[in-house]
């Protein structure tokens, strides 16, 4: 089997779909393997799981509706 036979085989639509699926699946598995192996990466990813809750706690200290104290509005009026 020479190179032109391989390219001709890949050029057929029914064969290229299978090759693309296998390529993307192997890439996906490789990315998963990379991310979830290694102690430092695992610890770092575990520390990220509380980020959404930390954001909610921070926003509770501020105004919930995004209302300003008025100083920005009066500054805009003064500039005009």
pLDDT in tens, 21-67: 999 999 999 999 988 888 888 888 888 888 888 766 666 665 545 54
Q: How far apart are CA 45 and CA 55, in angstroms?
A: 17
Dist CA 24 CA 31 (whole Å): 10
SS3 assignment, position 67: coil
Overall pTM > 0.75: no
- CB hemisphere CA count around 25 (13 angstroms): 6
Q: Where are the domains of the chain?
A: 3-58
Residues 23, 42: Cα–Cα separation, whole Å = 26
**Cα gap 50→43, rounded to integer Å:** 13
């Amino acid at each position: 089997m020479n190179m032109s036979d391989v390219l001709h085989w890949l050029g057929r639509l029914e064969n290229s779909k299978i090759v693309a699926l296998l390529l993307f699946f192997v890439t996906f598995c490789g990315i998963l393997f990379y991310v979830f192996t290694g102690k430092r990466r695992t610890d770092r990813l575990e520390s990220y799981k509380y980020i959404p809750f930390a954001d909610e706690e921070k926003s509770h200290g501020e105004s919930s509706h995004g209302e300003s104290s008025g100083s920005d509005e009066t500054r805009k009026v003064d500039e005009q």
